Amino acid sequence: MALETSVIQNKLIENFGLKVTDFFQQHDIFTFEVASDSIVEVMKFLRDDATLRFNFLTDLCGIHYPDYDKDRQFAVVYHMHNWVDNVRIRIKCYLNGDQPEIDTVTGLFLSSNWQERETYDFYGIIFKGHPQLKRILNMDEMESFPLRKEFPMEDGGRTDKDDRFFGRTTQNC
């Protein structure tokens, strides 16, 4: 018998109450939100529960939402896979825009080590307790985080572009 999303949701609510919310199905992946201060205990439960068995962390990444409320301007997204039942889930944890930080899950999944470092490197999200949180792809001297949406998409001072050729004006070429 396949692992139903209702079983996952009910077990999580039963064990964590309002620390897990906003359950929905998106593109064949059951998705929900976890309070950022509960991520380690929820992921440990998902991994160790005899029914759920989400034994593989497929991916971990960051997102920047600069237009959201201050407490939800960053997110860390985790994708987990139950190999036995071939079920995948997505977990989203929102973080404060002034101080985006969350506990590391390297104690649960060694594969998260590199993924957390990459997320730190590109978004500046701090993974508390990480064994070696430092830049992994960018230069150590770099002060900004390149995937944050803090910079204009284009240089307004450019003179070599004609907006008519890029569909940004109603004038004919």
In this prediction the pTM is 0.86
pLDDT value of position 124: 96
Residue 26, both tokens:
């998106």
User: Once rounded to an integer, what is the mean pLDDT over residues 79-101?
Assistant: 97
Residue 77, Cβ density class (10 Å: 0-12 exposed, 13-18 middle, ≥19 buried): middle
pLDDT value of position 76: 98
Given pLDDT bands bounded at 50, 70 and 90, which one contains residue 33? very high
Residue 170 scores a pLDDT above 90: no
3-state secondary structure of 10: helix
Render 64-105 in DSSP notation, one character per residue: E-TTS-GGGSEEEEEEEEETTTTEEEEEEEEE-SSS-EEE--
53 close to 30: Cβ distance less than 8 angstroms: no
Residue 143 scores a pLDDT above 90: no
Distance CA 120, CA 70 (A): 19
The H or E element that residue 7 is part of is helix 5-16
Residues 37-71 pLDDT 10s:
999 999 999 999 999 999 999 999 999 999 999 99
Distance CA 43, CA 34 (A): 10
